[in-house]
Structure formats: structure tokens, C-alpha cells
């Protein structure tokens, strides 16, 4: 049986929760089957700033341009800290875009984190053909 989940015109392509291994980075690789398996990688790392306790994130790319690195700073709240508005991290030349939302729960600063996420696909190719 196959289950399809959608929300607001976006298709959920992956959703889950994972504990980080010993507070180490979490990497998610998504193979874009619409473009013959081109991989997109998201890397989430955890760091701490003792001078500024506010939670925040820094976005960057690696040298291949196929990996988005997101440094989650001070994500150490047991109730959770995250990005609940979809963030576009990739798109292909066929008009398909990929988005992610995530939440991090942490009970101690330097221990494993519970990382919950949903990845969405939005296909705008039909809208482009109509215009």
C-alpha cells in the first residue's frame, strides 16, 4: 500500500523524526527522481553561543552547491525550537521545488537532539505551461 500526503498544494515526500547521534550533525539526502536522481543534501549541525543565548540559524552551501548546511545555534529547548514555515532548499529545471520544516527538542545542551522534519514537493511546471 502506498500513502500520499499533501498539504496546501504541496506533496509530503518525507517526514520523520531522528535522534542525533551524540549531538553530531544530521544529514538528509533527497534524490530528485524527476531529474534522474540528482541528489540534494541538507546538513543540520548544532552549536552553542554562551554570549548570546537566543536560538538562531545560519545557512550556507558546500562547494558542490548541492548541499545546504544549516547551523542550528542554541537549539536546546525541551519544548522545541524550529522553522515551522516551509523553507525552499532546492528546485530543478522542471519547475519542481522542495521545502522543509523542522523542530528540534533538546533536554541537555550537549546531548542528542530529537529532530522532527517534513519535506515537501511543489510542482509548478503545470502553471508554467499554462502561461
Give me the number of domains the chain comprises.
1
What is the Cα–Cα distance from 66 to 88, expressed in whole angstroms?
13
* pLDDT grade for 80, boundaries at 50, 70 and 90: very high
* Residue 81 pLDDT greater than 80, yes or no: yes
Residue pointed to by grid coordinates 511546471: 125
Q: Convert the pLDDT of each residue in 99-114 to its tens digit.
A: 999 999 998 766 789 9
User: Given this model, what pLDDT does residue 40 score?
Assistant: 81
Of 128, 121, 127, the C-alpha closest to 31 is 121
* Residue 62 pLDDT greater than 60, yes or no: yes
Report phi then psi at 129, rounded to 5.
-70, -30
Mean pLDDT score of the chain: 85
* Residue 34 pLDDT greater than 80, yes or no: no
- Which range of residues forms the domain containing residue 58? 5-130
pTM of the model: 0.83
Return the ∠ at Cα 124 (arms to 117 and 85), rounded to 5°.
30
Residue 88: how many other CB atoms lie within 10 Å? 11
What is the Cα–Cα distance from 96 to 35, expressed in whole angstroms?
10
Amino acid at each position: 500500500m502506498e500513502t500520499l500526503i499533501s498539504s496546501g498544494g504541496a506533496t509530503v515526500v518525507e517526514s520523520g523524526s531522528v535522534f542525533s547521534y551524540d549531538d553530531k550533525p544530521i544529514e538528509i539526502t533527497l534524490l530528485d527522481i524527476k531529474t534522474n536522481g540528482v541528489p540534494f543534501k541538507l546538513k543540520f549541525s548544532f552549536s552553542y553561543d554562551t554570549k548570546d543565548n537566543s536560538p538562531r540559524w545560519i545557512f550556507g552551501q558546500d562547494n558542490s552547491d548541492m548541499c545546504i548546511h544549516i547551523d542550528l545555534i542554541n537549539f536546546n529547548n525541551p519544548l522545541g525550537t524550529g522553522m515551522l514555515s516551509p523553507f525552499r532548499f532546492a528546485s530543478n529545471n522542471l519547475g519542481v521545488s522542495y521545502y522543509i520544516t523542522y523542530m528540534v527538542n533538546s533536554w541537555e545542551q550537549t546531548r542528542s537532539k530529537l529532530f522532527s522534519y517534513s519535506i515537501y514537493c511543489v510542482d509548478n511546471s503545470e502553471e508554467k505551461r499554462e502561461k
